[in-house]
Structure 1
Amino acid sequence: MFARSKNDSYMGKRNEHQSKSKFWKTYSDYRLILWMWMLGDTAVMWAPAELAHNGFYLHSIMYLLVIIVVATPLLFSEICLAQYTNCDVITIWNFLPLFRCFGYGTIYLVTMKVVYMLVLTSWSLVYAVHSAMSPAPWNTCDDYDGNSTTKFCMVKRKNTSVFQNCLEAQSMYGGDCGMKTASRCFFEVQIGNYVTSAVWPYCTPHYKENIALWCIAFALFVLTLKRKFLRIGVKLALGYVGLGTFVLVCIALGTGGTWFSSSVSLGWASIYSMDWTVLDAQWCVVLRKAFLAVGAGCGMASGWTSGAEFRSPACMTAVAAPLLAVLASLMLSLVTHSGIKTMSFYHGDEENIVELGNNFFFTPFASMTETLSYFDEYNLSGFIWFSVTFVCMFVNTWLLFSYLKDYLINNLTFARRHHKSSSMSLVVSLVLLSYPCFCSDLTPALLDAAETVQIFTSLIFSITIYWIYGYYNHSVDIIFMIGVKTSYFWKFCWVLNPVFICFILVTKCTYLALSEHGENSHEIESLGTTVDFLLYIVLLGIYALILLFPLVVQLLIYIANGDWKGLFTPCGDWGPKDDILFKSRKMFVPEIMTTEFLYRQVKKHGYSKRKNVNVKKELSIESEASHCLQPTEWSVLTSN
């Protein structure tokens, strides 16, 4: 658990070669799982909503640049370290033993993300089921007319004149016209009205979300019993996501409103009006979502990569997988953007077309149902959208739960002996932890805490690996492992990576999701704070305690051993698990792996001209034998 003393015989430990059984039969399975992990809530829910509602073209360029320059280099390093050492989320920090405590913090982060994903996946399942109905509840007011909560209901696409009169009343009097759309009514009944200010302290999900939650939990328990289910499930999920995205793009491009030029839908109005406060907030959200889209900092990518063999092509997928995920995310953003333009074209107006609710989840759910309803009357696009979203959410929850369960089984003897009962206990515990977060004002607090921890972990990782361990040493490790020299682009990004991530962390702490609609949360007068902000502080406080305790114990051990230098130097067993590879790394000269050096040596020794193959042989059989027996002089050309 903690650092070893100098007298520990770590070489004996190395000879045991604690290699895990190889999970990947083919590297295509690994690539698909890594790609599916990046199609999470950020890529298929938040990024399309933020990009389409706040300036599609400009923000899409920013989104792509941040992923290429900031997120992908960090993910590449995580994958390379995992394949280089075959370590878990704890021992991978052995390049700087003092910060091994962040490995325990990563387990806590994965737990928070599983709880958050259970809530989000349950809501997605409810919307996916309702979108398959004919008509969908957001395309009719039959269930809301005369209701004391919803009162006057309208369907914007069907009641065009009523909606236009409502817009005129809002513009003239600056208030609400007293009408609600069917999409808003359905959202408020299922998600929006369930906040702590209304139901405190009884936070339990509605019966629909409750049924969806336990169905998801049962599916997780069954599907994690066999590892082959994951390989099959990911292939089926990616096939459906690819097909669904293609159909949505075709539907969107086939509507006349897609080709309608709208300045508001492009987001240029905020630039023309010089409302830099709003613009800066939008930029910061896009930058943060772009960094979080690839899933760096969660330990997931490194966890799945640790089963890859040494010098396999697994590392190179770190570049391909994020770009494929960005492509899918931008295509879904294009669909949403086309829907907004179709709404503007349909009503002949560009202002106040898209509803902005008073809940954090209004945009990806209620606003999305209203936008997609303008594509077709039978809600085919809505069903495809929410079914694709649910599939991505469920597979991500599956990957997170599998990662958490594997860690417990590999490190706890009781869990290893009682595999099924431990898995069932884990999934039930996570379900019970998710119950309070079904209050839609507490879910953003959980999301804020998870994102803050994830960005902070990424920041510490980038500082330690690039600035303390050194980007040069990291580059040499990669050359030794995959036999390819790292380019100047990677080195440039690695050097500036901590600066970029620090800026993203500052923007995250400045623009919290829970502060966007904080009036929905119950206020605790005795503490002078709201419930959602209190939950955010408590979650971060638990994370601080998880970091502090191992860090203090680690320092005490080093103080007792008098090894102050070992605080900032890699452990003695840091490197490849294989004993031969570990020893050869000490003798490795990185220059021999570069083409430039080989050509320079050949030119220097006069071997640039071809020699006649019929030249007289100078060496006899005896001289060859004597040459083999005599030790040759060492050089970098013959070292490997």
Structure 2
Amino acid sequence: MKDSFELKGGGEGMDNTGYVADNDVVIPSIDNKLAANGKSEGHSKALANGVQNGDATLTGDVVAGDEDEMPDRPQWSNGVEFIMSCIAMSVGLGNVWRFPFTAYENGGGAFLIPYIIVLFIIGKPMYYMEMAMGQFSSYGAVKVWNISPILTGDGVNPYSLGYGQIFSTLCIVTYYVSLMAITAFYFIMSFKSVLPWAFCQPDWGANCFDGTGNQTFNASSNQMSSSEYYFKNIVLREPDTIHDGIGPPEWRLTLCLIFSWICVFLVCVRGVKSSGKASYFLALFPYVIMITLLIKGCTLEGAGKGVLFFITPQWEELLNPNVWYAAVTQAFFSLNVGFGSLIMYSSYNNLNENIHRDALIVTTLDTFTSLMAGCTIFAILGNLAHELGVDDIKDVVGGGGTGLAFISYPDAIANDHTNVFHYVQLFAVLFFLMLFTLGVGSAVALVSSIITIICDQFPHLKHWMVTSVVCCICFLIGLIYATPGGQYILNLVDFYGVTFVVFVLAVIEVMGVHWIYGLNNFCHDLEFMQGSKVGFYWRLCWGLITPIILFIVLIYFLVQMEPLKYGEYIYPDSSYAAAWVLLAFGVAQFPIWAIYVIIKKRHLHFPEMIIDSFRATELWSPKVPKNNRDWKEFKKLKAKEEVAMTAVENRFSTLLRRFLGYETARARNAKSLIQNVK
């Protein structure tokens, strides 16, 4: 066995691009690094000599003289800030009002079985993967896709997959903050001596009944609780249709929207310096309120019936494919993967931050929070059903999402004639303050993702200026949702502009990282960062289970997709047309720019053109000069180990090792010889 391993164009194991072509090992050459950044041949030689002499180091597009110098990018003050920020991002409004209703609608306690399974084979692997991508590259959700030209959209400048994801992020953050505005409005109204949704007013109609339970509730009649009437007709002023337009913005919600965006701006204005400090409050304070409400809720009469209704399994639902589909979508969006926020947060880490531990902590806590929120909500709804004299809790659950947060729960708070809530205003204030705080944590992550992308692309811009412009533009877009017809539009944008687009791009994301860049390459990068080999579980999920299941779910989603409705309302054709344009714009980013990449290489023969478009790019590397050099040496060692092990393996053993990380005894011995030589 040779004692040295030279990296020269045309040598053994090399192709003419300067990469190790054999065995899925990628090592960028300095000449190609400079060529990608438009440097001259003379400049290339000068800098290459400088690197050899220890005078300069090239990492991506950064040249530094000091080996410990970090490119001009802020970092978290400590690892706790990163974990707290991830908790604040992942634990959001969906945990409180989406998960309980989704579980109730899909088999109650039986839903927890597919949900936990899906969490382990999709949620956790994708969460860990996105953390690793951001931490390794130190880039946001667009430039991180320098990992491959076909995913980048250009050999140097990223357009493709990242822009599709950030389009969905822009869609979701504009309506997400509008929901925070409604929460802020309810928070303010909770300080009134009499909660405005507790009693029907004379002009609200004969079908309205008080949420205090002083009247007999008949589920079969066309009755509407005071909370439901207040939400739909007083707060939203929602019309029956939008055929005549959505109307002008409602001034009270507009003011609350301004307030919400000011809160987001103040947390984001100094980047991770400000958001990191705020993360302690944003992550921990909601748990204080949630635990308080859980303790209080479980002491109410009828609470046990409500909790049992939530957790009692309907085993026959396990055979329903819709339940498994609901579990996938809930796990996917509860953890906030696919939007670029997680990549952005982890890009501010040190290269050696223990993200394996962090990913397990956050994903486990997210699941625990969803379960706790479900027990809290249904304990209080059980009490509401008891006070209204309703046997079936389904009659007081209403709808999920905003219906659960702004109708069912306010009904329960207003129901105080038994004096179980000694201070109804206090509990109303706490509940809506908790919702608003949860919303801020998630909104900050989404907005910061957009800001980071712009700052990565234009590093000369001031962070506070970018933050100001982004918040102002998002506020102006968000005015659409402050109109009477805003919830109709929100429903369309959520489905066509967010859910569908992010799901499609997530399938491409996981396939691109592990099937294009290579599972072995990615695991080597993780091993370099974490100092330990990637386990069998992660390899199996990333290389096989996660991408295949996501693809199957996507096909099922397409087959089962029906025209979207808002309640019983069927949208006009023009609304569906606009929604499909929205969807096409987000999804088409990848195929359009992928075709552009291939066309740019038309001077090559067709097989070379395709291979070169999928080959890993030299821009994918650690940004810190010293880390970059260490990584290159690590990859050289891995290349030598790969050659040595392949020489003593059969093809099946090689495939098994690359895919699952299993090494035969002969392969381990060959690798040990290489390590001893080193």
Question: Which letter maps to 2:290?
Answer: T
CA distance in 2, matches of 1:389, 1:443: 19
Match of 1:248 in 2: 293
CA distance in 2, matches of 1:453, 1:418: 31
1:384-418 alpha-carbon deviations (Å, 9 max, x no partner) = 222111111122112221221232133236xx446
Q: Are residues 556 and 282 of structure 1, via their aligned partners in 2, closer, same or farther at CA, if it must alter by over 3 Å?
A: same
1:424-472 alpha-carbon deviations (Å, 9 max, x no partner) = 3322221121222341111011111211111111111111222333323
Match of 1:105 in 2: 164
CA distance in 2, matches of 1:193, 1:530: 23
Which deviates the most, 31-40 or 313-322?
313-322
Structure 2: give runs of 5+ residues left out of the alignment: 1-15, 19-30, 35-43, 48-57, 65-69, 153-159, 643-656
Q: Are residues 221 and 36 of structure 1, via their aligned partners in 2, closer, same or farther at CA, if it must alter by over 3 Å?
A: closer
Q: Are residues 21 and 352 of structure 1, via their aligned partners in 2, closer, same or farther at CA, if it must alter by over 3 Å?
A: closer
The within-5 A match list for 1:269-348 is 280-348=321-389
Which deviates the most, 7-16 or 117-126?
7-16
Match of 1:389 in 2: 435
1:135 aligns with 2:194: yes
1:445 aligns with 2:492: yes
Per the TM alignment, residue 291 of structure 1 is displaced from its structure 2 partner at its CA by: 1.7
Per the TM alignment, residue 215 of structure 1 is displaced from its structure 2 partner at its CA by: 1.3
CA distance in 1, matches of 2:477, 2:562: 21
CA distance in 2, matches of 1:356, 1:48: 10
3-state SS, counterpart of residue 560 of structure 1: coil
1:96 aligns with 2:148: yes
1:582 aligns with 2:628: no
The within-5 A match list for 1:63-462 is 63-100=115-152, 101-141=160-200, 144-147=201-204, 150-160=205-215, 162-163=216-217, 166-167=218-219, 170=220, 176-177=221-222, 179-190=223-234, 193-195=237-239, 197-198=241-242, 200-227=244-271, 228-260=273-305, 280-351=321-392, 354-355=395-396, 361-373=402-414, 376=421, 378-379=423-424, 380-412=426-458, 416-417=460-461, 420-438=464-482, 439-448=486-495, 449-462=497-510
CA distance in 2, matches of 1:315, 1:266: 31
CA distance in 2, matches of 1:462, 1:555: 21
Q: How many residues align?
A: 580
1:40 aligns with 2:92: yes
Question: Which letter maps to 2:101?
Answer: A
Q: Are residues 158 and 89 of structure 1, via their aligned partners in 2, closer, same or farther at CA, if it must alter by over 3 Å?
A: closer
CA distance in 1, matches of 2:588, 2:515: 26
3-state SS, counterpart of residue 470 of structure 1: helix
CA distance in 1, matches of 2:356, 2:433: 31
Question: Which letter maps to 1:290?
Answer: A
Structure 1: give runs of 5+ residues left out of the alignment: 171-175, 524-528, 606-632
Q: Are residues 54 and 377 of structure 1, via their aligned partners in 2, closer, same or farther at CA, if it must alter by over 3 Å?
A: farther
Per the TM alignment, residue 483 of structure 1 is displaced from its structure 2 partner at its CA by: 1.5
Per the TM alignment, residue 196 of structure 1 is displaced from its structure 2 partner at its CA by: 7.6
1:635 aligns with 2:673: yes
Match of 2:517 in 1: 469
1:570 aligns with 2:616: yes
1:538 aligns with 2:581: yes
Q: Are residues 516 and 333 of structure 1, via their aligned partners in 2, closer, same or farther at CA, if it must alter by over 3 Å?
A: farther
The within-5 A match list for 1:473-492 is 473-492=521-540
CA distance in 1, matches of 2:113, 2:194: 37
Contact 1:356 1:367 in 2 (8 A): yes
Question: Which letter maps to 1:77?
Answer: M
1:205-239 alpha-carbon deviations (Å, 9 max, x no partner) = 32221110111223333433323321222111222
CA distance in 1, matches of 2:324, 2:385: 24
CA distance in 2, matches of 1:197, 1:487: 54
Q: Are residues 262 and 87 of structure 1, via their aligned partners in 2, closer, same or farther at CA, if it must alter by over 3 Å?
A: closer
Q: Are residues 215 and 262 of structure 1, via their aligned partners in 2, closer, same or farther at CA, if it must alter by over 3 Å?
A: closer
Give the TM-score normalised by structure 1: 0.81
Contact 2:75 2:348 in 1 (8 A): yes
1:503 aligns with 2:558: no
Question: Which letter maps to 1:585?
Answer: F
Q: Are residues 83 and 223 of structure 1, via their aligned partners in 2, closer, same or farther at CA, if it must alter by over 3 Å?
A: closer
CA distance in 2, matches of 1:560, 1:574: 25
3-state SS, counterpart of residue 208 of structure 2: strand
Per the TM alignment, residue 348 of structure 1 is displaced from its structure 2 partner at its CA by: 4.8
CA distance in 2, matches of 1:583, 1:102: 27
Question: Which letter maps to 1:538?
Answer: V
CA distance in 2, matches of 1:507, 1:336: 31
3-state SS, counterpart of residue 194 of structure 2: coil
1:541-591 alpha-carbon deviations (Å, 9 max, x no partner) = 222443344323312222235552211220134333333123213223498
Per the TM alignment, residue 333 of structure 1 is displaced from its structure 2 partner at its CA by: 0.8
Contact 2:131 2:342 in 1 (8 A): yes
Match of 1:609 in 2: none
Q: Are residues 365 and 291 of structure 1, via their aligned partners in 2, closer, same or farther at CA, if it must alter by over 3 Å?
A: same
Which deviates the most, 57-66 or 24-33?
57-66
3-state SS, counterpart of residue 297 of structure 1: coil
Question: Which letter maps to 2:489?
Answer: L
Question: Which letter maps to 2:405?
Answer: P
CA distance in 2, matches of 1:9, 1:204: 53
CA distance in 1, matches of 2:299, 2:527: 49
Q: Are residues 245 and 226 of structure 1, via their aligned partners in 2, closer, same or farther at CA, if it must alter by over 3 Å?
A: same
Q: Are residues 298 and 378 of structure 1, via their aligned partners in 2, closer, same or farther at CA, if it must alter by over 3 Å?
A: same
Per the TM alignment, residue 325 of structure 1 is displaced from its structure 2 partner at its CA by: 1.5
3-state SS, counterpart of residue 186 of structure 1: helix
> Cα RMSD (Å) of the superposition?
3.6
Contact 1:53 1:265 in 2 (8 A): no
Which deviates the most, 354-363 or 463-472?
354-363
Per the TM alignment, residue 293 of structure 1 is displaced from its structure 2 partner at its CA by: 0.9
Match of 1:620 in 2: none
CA distance in 1, matches of 2:137, 2:267: 29
3-state SS, counterpart of residue 487 of structure 2: coil
Match of 1:611 in 2: none
Question: Which letter maps to 1:111?
Answer: L
Per the TM alignment, residue 252 of structure 1 is displaced from its structure 2 partner at its CA by: 1.7
1:95-128 alpha-carbon deviations (Å, 9 max, x no partner) = 3321211012122122112212122211221222
Per the TM alignment, residue 201 of structure 1 is displaced from its structure 2 partner at its CA by: 2.1
Q: Are residues 417 and 266 of structure 1, via their aligned partners in 2, closer, same or farther at CA, if it must alter by over 3 Å?
A: closer
Per the TM alignment, residue 508 of structure 1 is displaced from its structure 2 partner at its CA by: 4.5
3-state SS, counterpart of residue 192 of structure 2: coil
Q: Are residues 60 and 376 of structure 1, via their aligned partners in 2, closer, same or farther at CA, if it must alter by over 3 Å?
A: farther
Give the TM-score normalised by structure 2: 0.77
The partner residue of 1:56 within 100, 108, 128 is: 108
Which deviates the most, 440-449 or 543-552?
543-552
Per the TM alignment, residue 243 of structure 1 is displaced from its structure 2 partner at its CA by: 0.5
Contact 2:181 2:257 in 1 (8 A): yes
Question: Which letter maps to 1:557?
Answer: K
Per the TM alignment, residue 510 of structure 1 is displaced from its structure 2 partner at its CA by: 6.0
